[in-house]
Structure 1
Amino acid sequence: MRKRIFRQLKRLSDQAVGADHRLAINLFGALSLCSGMVVSGYWPMRKEINVLPCLSALLSYGCRTALPVILEDKHALIFRAWSPGDQLVKGLYGTFEPRPDAEVVYPTLLLVPLVAFDRSGNRLGYGGGYYDRTLVSLHERHAIRAIGVGYAGQEVNCVPVGAHDVMLNGFLTENGFIKILE
């Protein structure tokens, strides 16, 4: 399934002019946001939908934004504060992350990248399990909402689910918001 969706991503991203801005509009239309809340996003790669306009809009609204960091010796992600213009460093797996001296923060809303999703709340990620372990860890710390973010064309009928996969609260696409759990 990953291989098939990766092939579709180039076509989806090429055809989705303005998708990143529609994504930001849909985010504000669907979710209750509070000034001061910490929201994590991700640095887009592999033709993922661009969530950076969402993060810029959230900053303008008074939210704090963060990006994930993969630590070699950890099984869960940490999040470091980030704003547009802050310097990024190359992380594991070709990701871009905030510098090691950026503040560690604990998001209450996570915008989660994905390869595919279904209407049951399941997300197919990249296979490392980082977000699943992270969501479990954050749930133990405080209440969170995890929203998968992708193109509407990444929706599939059924995502294969493993014992450690964590369901998401919804999915945000350029075409709207799909609510799953509250």
Structure 2
Amino acid sequence: MAIRTEIDPLAAMAEASAYGPVGVPVIAGPGLPLSFAVWEPDCEMLDGPFGARIPASGEMMDPEILIVPLVAFSRSGGRLGYGGGFYDRTLERMRAKRPTLAIGFAFAGQEMVDLPLEDTDQPLDLIVTEREIIEP
């Protein structure tokens, strides 16, 4: 679910739901990885932490593909997030168990040549903008 000025992923989520379960992130607390609640196009939503909306059902899932929010990205798959580390911790945990695809939805204007990345930053596998699809 989009927050701040992020690209709204609802159309992509609705399309994806025709092929399998779709989840939205649930923040358990600072410093913890995310969990994911099952989302359906017409499900009831509640206000969750950090201004994000979450499904009311409470049914959880383990996704294989994550749409990852970002402030900026690089063509090499680098991602600058909002500073909480939620997605980096989550991707690290998930990728230790099985392959997990991280897709960044961004505006083309969010691209940067160099990003201040850290060792804990998890790379994007695909970046989708209004202009193109980038495969790092």
Aligned structure 1 segments of 4 or more residues deviating by more than 4 angstroms: none
**Any residues of structure 2 matched to 1:95-110 within 5 Å, and which?**
95-99=52-56, 101-110=57-66
For residue 121 of structure 2, the aligned residue among 165, 178, 181 is 165
The equivalent residue for 1:75 is: 32
For residue 177 of structure 1, the aligned residue among 128, 133, 136 is 133
Structure 1 residue 48: deviation in Å? 1.0
Long gaps (5+) in structure 1: 1-42
Kindly, what percent of the aligned residue pairs are identical? 38
Q: Does 1:52 align with 2:10?
A: yes
Q: Distance in 2 between matches of 1:97 and 1:140?
A: 26
* RMSD of Structure 2 on Structure 1 (CA): 1.4
- Give a deviation string over 1:95-141, Cα, whole Å, max 9, x none: 11122x42211111111111110112111111000000000111122
Decide whether aligned partners of structure 1 residues 73 and 131 sit closer, same or farther in structure 2, where only a CA change above 3 A counts.
closer
The equivalent residue for 1:153 is: 109
Amino acid in the other structure paired with 2:132:
G
| Conserved? CA contact 2:31–2:86, under 8 Å | no
More helix by share: 1
Aligned residues: 136
Question: What TM-score does the superposition give when structure 2 sets the normalisation length?
Answer: 0.93
Which stretch has the larger CA shift, 121-130 or 136-145? 136-145
Decide whether aligned partners of structure 1 residues 154 and 80 sit closer, same or farther in structure 2, where only a CA change above 3 A counts.
same
